[in-house]
Structures are given as C-alpha cells and as structure tokens.
Amino acid sequence: MKERAHNVTRRNALRLSASAVCALGLGIVASTLVGPKPECALAEELVSCVNDEDEYTFLPDDALTLDDLPSEIQLMAASENVSVVNLGGEDRYETVAKEALYAFPNGSNTVVVASGVGYADSIAAAGLAGALGCPILLTNSTYVPSVTDSALKTLKASRIVLLGSETVASSAVMNSLRSFGSVERIWGPDRYATQMAIYRYGASRGLWSGDTVIVAAATGFADALSASPISYALKAPVFFCDSSRTLPADQRNVLSNELTSAKKFLLLGSPSVTADSTLTYLRNLASARGGSAVRLGGTLRYDTSMQIAEYAVKNLGFKWDGVAFASGQGPYDALGGGVVQGKEKSVLLLADGTNYSSVNVITRNGGSVSTTLKFFGSTVVVPADVRAKICTTLHVPYLNNTSFPAYGITRAKMAQLQVSRNEGNGYSYEDFYSALNPDQHEYGTSSFYQFAVLTSGYSGITGDSLNSYVVNNCTYQESAYGRTSTLRGLGSAFVEAAQAYGVNEVYLLAHAIWESAWGCSDLAAGWTPDSDGEIVVNGNHFPYYKDTTYYNFYGIGAVDSNALSGGRALAVKEGWTSPRAAVLGAAQWISANYLRRSLGAQNTLYLMKWDVVGAAKTGSASHEYCTGLGTWCTGIASIIDRCYKSVGRSFGSALAFSFPVYAG
C-alpha cells in the first residue's frame, strides 16, 4: 500500500464497517491494513518462573516495554505545601535506583546490593542497610544492570555488601562490582541460612545496636517489606519463620542465647503465616527481659500493612506525613522504598489496583499529609486512578489537569471486541489487552499526550513556531521522497483551524505529520488530474478538474484496500484544493466525526484509536480511526511532545488530560 507512512499499522479513515462508512457519505468499504507488529507489553499478573527454592520471580513491571519513562524523579506540584513524588522506573532495577538516589542525594560510600530475580535474600536487607546507613540496589543474576551501575557511580560507592549466593548474583556480577571498590558477599545455601548470615555479619561488627527484632515468614514478601522502614530505622534484624510457621532451631538458639539485648519483638502476619506458638515463644523471651512482643497481622497483606504503619506511628515516632504507597503484588518497589521511608521515619503502605483500602488507616487515626506523599513503582503497578483516589482521600490534589472518567466496560471486553473484528492483522487477545492498558503510560512522558483533551481549542503556539518545527524536522522525509514538504509554511492554517473548530493546533499538525510523512506522501503532495472528470459516491457525483490539485494530509478516506484512490476521492468530495483548505477541512471533519461525535466524544487520541465510548454504550467498538495496536497513539503523542518542547513549553501546560478507567 503506497500511502503508509512510518511503516507501521495506522489509519484507514474511519476503520468503520462498510455501512457506517457509507452513512458518512464516503462510499468506501474499509478493509484491514496488515502491518508489522510494533513492540507490545504484556504485564504478567503474577509469576514468570519458580527457582529451586520454589521462590517466585514477580514481573508486574519488568514485562513491560515503557519506551519513554523520564530518567529523573517526578515531583508533581500538588499544592503550595504538598508534593506528590513518583519514584518509578521502567523496571525494578530503575525504580530501586531512583529510590536510592532520592534517599541519598549526597551519595553513600556503602551500598547493599541484593538480587532482583528472587526476593528471599533481599527482604532481610533493610535492617542491615539501616545499620550500615546506606541504600539498597538490585542486580541481575548474571550482570549488573546499567541503571544500577549508574547509580553506584552517582552514589560514589566504594564498599559494596552483596547478598546471596552465586546462583542469584554470579561471580561475573561480583567482578563487575569490584570495579567500585571492596565487595563482601553474605550468603547461605537457602533463604534461612542467608538471613542468619546477614544477622551474624551485623552481630560480628556490632551493628545491631537496637533492642528490636522483627520476625516474619520467609515464604512471602509483603509483610517483611511493609515493616522494612521500621527495620531500617531501628537497625533491627529480621528473622525468618519457615513453612511450619515457626522459627527454625538456629534462629531460636540465637534469639534465646546470643541476642540477649533484644527485648522487643514484632511478629508479622496472621496466625496462618506465623504460628501462635511463635508469638508465645517471643512473649516469654520479652517477659524475661522486661520487654514486649506483639503480632502485627491481618487477614490480607494490606491489613497487615495498615497494622504495621499504625504501630509505627503510635509507638516508634513514625509519622503519616511523607507516607508512601507501593504495590502489594510484587516485592521490589517496596524494598528500596523501605530505605526511603526508614530514613525519614515515615510509613509505607501497600496499595494497587487490587486493593487500596490502606489509605483509610491514615484518616482513621486523624493523620494528614502536609509536605510529601510518595508512590513507589510505575502506574502499571499502582494505577493512575488509584493514585488519584488515594490523593483525594488525603485531600492532596493529584494531577490537577487530569480527569479520570470511568467507563462501564472492562479492558478484557474491549480486547475481545478488537479480536472479534477479525481484521486479519494477526494480533491476539493478549496483544490487544496489553496495548489497551492506559496505565503503562506515565504522566510526564510523551506517550501520555494520547490522553490530552483535543477539544480545548487553541493553546497559543504561533504559526511561525509551527513552521519552524516543520522546517527543522522534515528534511529527512523530503530527501526520502524526493519532494518538498507541503506542510512548510502552513503554520497559520493550523492556528486558523484550531481557532475555527476548537481543536488543538499542535495535535492537528502532529496528526498531519504522522499520516503524511511530514507532508511528503503522495496524498499530501496533492493529486492533479490531467483531465476533467468526476467521482461517484453513493450515487452522488463530485466533479474534479484538470490542473486543479487536491490535498489530503490525514489519510481520511484512504482505507486500507484502496488508500491512494480513496484518499484522493475524499479530497475531491470535500473540495480540498489547497493545503490550507485541506487542513481546515480535515479539522472540521475530525471534530464533527470523532472529537465531538454525537454518540459520545472521542476527544483524545486514545479514544479515537479505541472506541471505548461506543463500546460502553452499544457493545460495539466499530468507530475507530485506525487499525493495529497503539503505535498510532504513541507516535502522534510523541510528535506533540517534541513540538511543545521545541517552543519551551513544559509538559501539559495549557492542556487538560482525560485518563480512561476501565470497569476491571
């Protein structure tokens, strides 16, 4: 097909059924464009593999392809006094690196490095990091990730404590880490032995200076990580219960006979994970030493998280202000976050798309947030709408320019509707389900512009600025096509169209750029017939004239089966006989047929691509601008982002965003 810019799946005018196309007077039957599959991201809900200890490796974030996450920490100016801090990266390694750099902005000579492929060793790391006064970073089993390497350099680390055996951190990893300075490996043949090795390392160096011990199940991560700020702040070692829900003999021997300074014991989890007999044992120890033993555990991990936070505030001098939320579905975001929270003596709560009731413990106790609220991990693991609800509960504004409309349809149903269209492009249900996920797009990144409300009208970018952007970027396509871009000098037309039809001018330009290969495609160059004639659409005759040129920048009418002739026919029908007329006419057409559609506005790129509005109302997702997955949305969004940046506009200034929330 000649009219396919960017070599990716994209528009076919309406991507409607034949009857729907005819109803709009085009008389063109839309068929399917078969294009190469762009990269897509499938977020696995739980596990990808199990190691030799039956330990799960969680991939709620690493399975994703997030191409444009900002490298810097995101500070959302929520109000004059409260900042919402997002510490999330493309994967677990980047998230934990950001947490380390946030907690230690002036660097740290010492760093604890734990496994990023298995959580068992790492959930005992917070107390050691607190005792050493240092951050935690993650490594892959066979190599040191680039973000970890970069963080070590930024921290100016010269002493590294590596947790785990060569199975989880190979000799190659150790050799790489030696380039920074000394490396000490702490390990054991299993998680229980490694936990004891961590304790003995600290004991032999006098690091366990507190009087508190934390006891948790080794077969899960959530409870120990919820308590990691306490472990860090109190320099408290963690001891593991085994699958019998009791402390192994070695651990009991140490607590009874070696660690006699310990008199306060925190037993984490309900009796289903740590036995009542363990609590009785700890109470007897505490009673003999004039201390106390308490169980902090609820029915769900989220309940346990709340109990731990409540205890920390009431008894340990922790505060609600600065609270952080991390996913309860995976361990790694909370691991590095425990350092952040422990250093600040602020609580850590579990929350995600499954359950975010933990925020209620703050209001129930009369707490408030006055300076900072944090989220650990990307919006894939703590979705944007959940963040907004948490902030609303705490009376903290979150993304003041973003609304979160709820649609009465599940993402699974939307994916099924896409498959049922039988477009013949080879995409599976999983492909569509992943591409439909709005939470893989972070606020502040270019792809988030696909949620920009396009009907807010003119945003103030001058025609000259738009012209400069085209001139500075179109030469590659001009060389490839061997012609001058017809978008040159059209800046004022986009401004005029924005003002006339209430459509954002940068979007109009970006959409035209994407569809027309920077104004160099055959349709954008214009069709000049060598004789008079006419086209017939639904029995209606539309004349065209010799030596008159007809332009189409948006691929409207250029259905996949006959893109060039279809696009030319639409330009004739609409009378787009100059580049300016083609811009203004298309703006009017897109506004009427999509952005302000009577059935329901498709007023964002996301909604133009995925007919969530129509699907929720009618059970059919037939009114979509293009075929394929999400590349059309992210491609145009990226151009919008670069255009605004070219004139010095900060992200989202003078724009509103509408972020869709599925029913499930």
**Residue 31: what pLDDT?**
27
Can you tell me the mean pLDDT for 559-564? 77
pLDDT at position 77 over 50: no
For the chain, the C-alpha Rg in angstroms (whole number) is 29
Burial class of residue 186, CB neighbours in 10 A (0-12, 13-18, 19+): buried
Tokens 């302000």 sit on residue: 596
Of 93-97, 378-382, 459-463, the range with the lowest mean pLDDT is: 378-382
For the chain, what percentages of helix, strand and coil (3-state, to nearest 5) are there?
A: 40, 15, 45
User: Between 79 and 628, whose confidence is greater?
Assistant: 628
User: What is the rounded distance in angstroms from the CA atom of residue 87 to the CA atom of residue 74?
Assistant: 7
pLDDT at position 21 over 50: no
**Residue 424: what pLDDT?**
66
User: What is the rounded distance in angstroms from the CA atom of residue 654 to the CA atom of residue 459?
Assistant: 6
Q: How confident is the model at residue 71 (pLDDT cuts 50, 70, 90)?
A: very low
Contact by Cβ (8 Å): 214, 266 = yes
pLDDT at position 65 over 60: no
pLDDT at position 169 over 70: yes
**Residue 349: what pLDDT?**
97
Can you tell me the mean pLDDT for 590-602? 96
**Residue 559: what pLDDT?**
76
User: What is the rounded distance in angstroms from the CA atom of residue 371 to the CA atom of residue 394?
Assistant: 12
Q: How confident is the model at residue 80 (pLDDT cuts 50, 70, 90)?
A: low
List helix spans (H) across 421-562: 429-435, 463-471, 475-481, 491-501, 505-516, 522-525
User: What is the rounded distance in angstroms from the CA atom of residue 660 to the CA atom of residue 652?
Assistant: 17
**H-run or E-run covering 309:** helix 301-315
Can you tell me the mean pLDDT for 345-350? 97
Strands 182-186 and 238-241: unpaired
**Residue 301: what pLDDT?**
94
Please tell me which of 21-25, 33-37, 51-55, 345-349 the model is most confident about, judged by mean pLDDT: 345-349
Quote the pTM value: 0.71
Can you tell me the mean pLDDT for 378-396? 91
Which sign does the torsion angle of CA 629, 634, 637, 639 carry?
negative
Q: How confident is the model at residue 59 (pLDDT cuts 50, 70, 90)?
A: very low
**Residue 646: what pLDDT?**
97
Report the DSSP beta bridge partners of residue 47: 58
Q: What is the DSSP letter of 660?
A: -
For 500-535, how does the pLDDT look when each residue is reduced to its tens digit (9 = 90+)? 999 999 999 999 999 999 999 999 999 999 999 999
What is the SS3 assignment for 170?
A: coil
Report the DSSP beta bridge partners of residue 84: 76, 373
Mean pLDDT, the chain, rounded, equals 87
**Residue 354: what pLDDT?**
83
Tokens 């920048």 sit on residue: 553
Can you tell me the mean pLDDT for 214-240? 95
